[in-house]
Amino acid sequence: MNLPRQAPEELREFYITPVYLQILRDRVSEWTAEFIQNQLQLFRGTIPDYPEVLEILEGELYRRQLNQFHRQARRLTREQLLAVQKKYAHEQYADFREIARTELEIRAGVNRLKDDSGTHATVAD
Predicted confidence (pLDDT) at residue 98 exceeds the cutoff of 70? yes
Mean pLDDT over 11-31 rounds to 88
Predicted confidence (pLDDT) at residue 119 exceeds the cutoff of 70? no
Contact between 43 and 15 (Cβ < 8 Å): no
List of residues 6+ apart from 24 with CB closer than 8 A: 53, 56, 57
Q: Which range (29-43, 82-96, 107-121) has the least confidence? A: 107-121
Mean pLDDT over 98-123 rounds to 79
Nearest 10 degrees: CA dihedral of 9, 13, 15, 19? 130
Predicted confidence (pLDDT) at residue 5 exceeds the cutoff of 90? no
Domain layout of the chain by residue ranges: 7-73, 77-109
Predicted confidence (pLDDT) at residue 125 exceeds the cutoff of 50? no
Separation of alpha carbons 76 and 35, rounded Å: 30
pLDDT at 92: 87
- H/E stretch holding 99 reads helix 94-108
Separation of alpha carbons 86 and 97, rounded Å: 8
pLDDT at 47: 83
pLDDT at 68: 97
